[in-house]
């Protein structure tokens, strides 16, 4: 029999409707979104569920306030109670990531990256990063933050089979081209970077080393991936809502203070580029929520990070056994939360991910090495953070792989949708955090409107 399709959105309220028609339309869409996620298997590598106790901070009055500057030296009054919060959250971040410095004001991974680039470089500098088709983020490219800063972008040679930097060739390139900034980190981040060699080569030419941990911050916090700050990178930028299941926000960590090749001191340069450079206000409710997530991570992150990686590996194996071309089979598919699959034989990434969505499997299309179109690429990217957060383990990965495969080959949508829903119904609580009564996709309680 199977399940009926997810409903189409209702028509927009007409322009001559009562203003409250928009309120009702918006509330309906949010409820519909919640109902879809309740029934779907979430497989986006960059998404996660913030804990209920961290989410409680979103509705605090902090959401309504400004706090430009640093604790104790603000441009606004009203921060007497907030200032110690920010100081404590920075301390929690320094403790978890064993970092001498933390700035918790960036509002996203991208705003952290832009702030970092303004701190550590100047227009015309040579900036080296992985290539887009090897999993780099747009902020590292000419048309992203790096270009906005006026940097000359160069890309490291990569190993297409593993979506990794070819370290040996990269080291030679760093020696030859003498970049001002060596950036590492990816949006398809399957394996740790061989940091020792890159850091040594970068030091030889006095380049600043920036690590983008947007995807792998939670794996680093759980001690399961690599330890960039301990290994000696200058600074680390990240989102706080991917494998680190915090609020949608950003963070910059940095190593011991030192003078950079642009003549600035590292810590001071970060402080002033975050504010007044790139941000004005920095979303104080999210800083408080980040504090809760950091505290929870002290207790749960090791187990959570291990399980994310184990689940991703198990899912890779199960997909491979069904004939799907998962990258890096010889290397165990992944050492992170992410898998990359070549689905050109199933109609390509765009077709496969759209079909999957209609079956209740939420993933994204992704470029593979050699692809030129990000709109119509050959691959899909699959991640384990959210389903792991819901308590799924290796045993469930085989059923998830079966559903992904059935949807890719075009089996009955309604049956796949039904099996996805039945599996999902058993996993509706958020794990690896202090428990509450709430379910993972509880919809907001809207006030009655007459
Ligand atoms: C490697 C990398 N850096 C930065 C970002 C940007 O993070 P945000 O979405 O928080 O701006 C992403 C986002 O997916 C990413 O993958």
Residue 186 CA: nearest ligand 1 atom is 1
Residue with the smallest CA separation from ligand 1 atom 9 is: 109
pLDDT, tens only, 68-95: 999 999 999 999 999 999 999 999 999 9
Tell me how far apart the alpha carbons of residues 312 and 45 are, in angstroms, rounded to a whole number: 10
pLDDT, tens only, 102-121: 999 999 999 999 999 999 99
Provide the token pair at 200.
């040594």
Does any ligand 1 atom lie closer than 6 A to the CB of residue 185? yes
Mutate to test the pocket of ligand 1, among 110, 113, 220, 367 (most ligand atoms within 8 A of CB): 110
Q: Indicate whether 23 belongs to any domain.
A: no
Residue 2 has pLDDT above 90, yes or no: no
State residue 133's pLDDT score.
Answer: 82
Report yes or no: 198 and 182 within 8 Å, Cβ to Cβ.
yes
Residue 450 has pLDDT above 80, yes or no: no
| Bond preceding residue 276 cis, omega within 30 of 0 | yes
Secondary structure E strands in 318-392:
325-326, 338-342, 361-362, 364-366, 379-383
Does any ligand 1 atom lie closer than 6 A to the CB of residue 187? yes
Does any ligand 1 atom lie closer than 6 A to the CB of residue 140? no
Mutate to test the pocket of ligand 1, among 144, 188, 214 (most ligand atoms within 8 A of CB): 214
Q: Indicate whether 271 belongs to any domain.
A: yes
State residue 9's pLDDT score.
Answer: 86
Q: Indicate whether 322 belongs to any domain.
A: no
Number of domains into which the chain is organized: 1
| Mean pLDDT confidence for 423-439 | 96
Provide the token pair at 199.
């850091």
Residue 364 has pLDDT above 90, yes or no: yes
Residue 412 has pLDDT above 90, yes or no: no
User: Predicted confidence band at 190 (pLDDT cuts at 50, 70, 90)?
Assistant: very high
User: Predicted confidence band at 48 (pLDDT cuts at 50, 70, 90)?
Assistant: very high
Does any ligand 1 atom lie closer than 6 A to the CB of residue 389? no
Does any ligand 1 atom lie closer than 6 A to the CB of residue 109? yes
| Residue 122 CB partners (closer than 8 Å, separation 6+) | 180, 262
Does any ligand 1 atom lie closer than 6 A to the CB of residue 212? yes
Residue 153 has pLDDT above 80, yes or no: yes
Does any ligand 1 atom lie closer than 6 A to the CB of residue 46? yes
| Residue 239 CB partners (closer than 8 Å, separation 6+) | 46, 108, 109, 112, 214, 215, 217, 248, 249, 250
State residue 132's pLDDT score.
Answer: 87
pLDDT, tens only, 266-295: 999 999 999 999 999 999 999 999 999 999
Q: Indicate whether 233 belongs to any domain.
A: yes
Does any ligand 1 atom lie closer than 6 A to the CB of residue 334? no
Residue 108 CA: nearest ligand 1 atom is 10
Q: Indicate whether 296 belongs to any domain.
A: no
State residue 332's pLDDT score.
Answer: 98
| Mean pLDDT confidence for 180-191 | 98
Q: Round the average pLDDT of the chain to a whole number and report it.
A: 96
Provide the token pair at 218.
């939670």
State residue 362's pLDDT score.
Answer: 98
Which residues span the domain enclosing 190? 54-290
Q: Indicate whether 325 belongs to any domain.
A: no
CATH code, domain carrying 155:
3.40.640.10
DSSP 367: -
Residue with the smallest CA separation from ligand 1 atom 8 is: 109
User: Burial level of 90, CB count in 10 A (0-12/13-18/19+)?
Assistant: buried
Does any ligand 1 atom lie closer than 6 A to the CB of residue 115? no
Q: Indicate whether 357 belongs to any domain.
A: no
pTM confidence score: 0.97
Tell me how far apart the alpha carbons of residues 219 and 405 are, in angstroms, rounded to a whole number: 27
pLDDT, tens only, 344-357: 999 999 999 999 99
User: Burial level of 395, CB count in 10 A (0-12/13-18/19+)?
Assistant: exposed
Residue 112 CA: nearest ligand 1 atom is 11
Residue with tokens 């959401």: 63
Does any ligand 1 atom lie closer than 6 A to the CB of residue 50? no
Q: Indicate whether 307 belongs to any domain.
A: no
Mutate to test the pocket of ligand 1, among 112, 117, 137, 235 (most ligand atoms within 8 A of CB): 137
Half-sphere exposure at residue 25, Cβ-oriented, CA atoms within 13 angstroms:
13
| Residue 368 CB partners (closer than 8 Å, separation 6+) | 133, 160, 340, 342, 377, 378, 379
Residue 250 CA: nearest ligand 1 atom is 10
Residue 136 CA: nearest ligand 1 atom is 1
Residue 184 has pLDDT above 90, yes or no: yes
């Amino acid at each position: 029999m199977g399940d009926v399709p997810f409903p189409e959105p209702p028509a927009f309220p007409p322009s001559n409707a009562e203003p409250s028609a928009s309120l009702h339309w918006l509330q309906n869409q949010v409820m519909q979104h919640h109902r879809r996620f309740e029934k779907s298997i979430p497989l986006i590598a960059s998404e996660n569920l913030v804990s209920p106790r961290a989410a409680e901070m979103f509705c605090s009055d902090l959401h309504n306030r400004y706090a430009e500057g640093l604790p104790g030296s603000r441009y606004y009054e009203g921060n007497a109670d907030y200032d110690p919060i920010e100081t404590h959250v920075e301390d929690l971040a320094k403790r978890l990531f064993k970092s001498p410095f933390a700035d918790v004001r960036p509002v996203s991974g991208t705003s952290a990256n832009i702030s970092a680039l303004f701190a550590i470089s100047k227009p015309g500098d040579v900036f080296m990063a992985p290539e887009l088709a090897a999993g780099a983020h747009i902020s590292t490219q000419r048309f992203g933050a790096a270009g906005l800063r006026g940097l000359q972008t160069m890309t490291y040679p990569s190993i297409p089979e593993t979506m990794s930097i070819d370290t040996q060739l990269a080291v030679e390139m760093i020696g030859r081209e003498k970049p001002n900034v060596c950036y590492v980190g990816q949006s398809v981040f399957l394996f740790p970077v061989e940091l020792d060699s890159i850091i040594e080569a970068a030091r030889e030419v006095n380049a600043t080393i920036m690590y983008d941990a947007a995807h792998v911050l939670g794996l680093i916090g759980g001690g399961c991936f690599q330890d960039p700050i301990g290994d000696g990178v200058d600074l680390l930028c990240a989102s706080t809502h991917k494998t680190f299941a915090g609020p949608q926000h950003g963070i910059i960590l940095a190593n011991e203070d030192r003078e950079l090749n642009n003549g600035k001191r590292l810590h001071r340069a970060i402080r002033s580029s975050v504010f007044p450079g790139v941000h004005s206000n920095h979303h104080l409710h999210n800083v408080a929520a980040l504090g809760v997530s950091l505290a929870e991570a002290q207790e749960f992150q090791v187990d959570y990070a291990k399980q994310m990686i184990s689940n991703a590996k198990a899912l890779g194996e199960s997909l491979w056994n069904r004939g799907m071309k998962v990258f890096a089979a010889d290397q165990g598919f992944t050492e992170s939360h992410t898998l990359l699959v070549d689905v050109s034989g199933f109609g390509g990434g765009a077709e496969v991910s759209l079909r999957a969505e209609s079956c209740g499997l939420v993933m994204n299309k992704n470029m593979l090495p050699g692809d030129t179109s990000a709109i119509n690429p050959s691959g899909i990217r699959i991640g384990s953070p959210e389903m792991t957060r819901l308590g799924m383990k290796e045993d469930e990965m085989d059923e998830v792989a079966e559903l992904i495969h059935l949807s890719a080959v075009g089996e009955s949508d309604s049956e796949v949708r039904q099996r996805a829903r039945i599996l999902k119904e058993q996993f509706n609580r958020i794990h690896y955090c202090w428990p509450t009564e709430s379910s993972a996709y509880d919809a907001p309680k809207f006030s009655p409107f007459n």
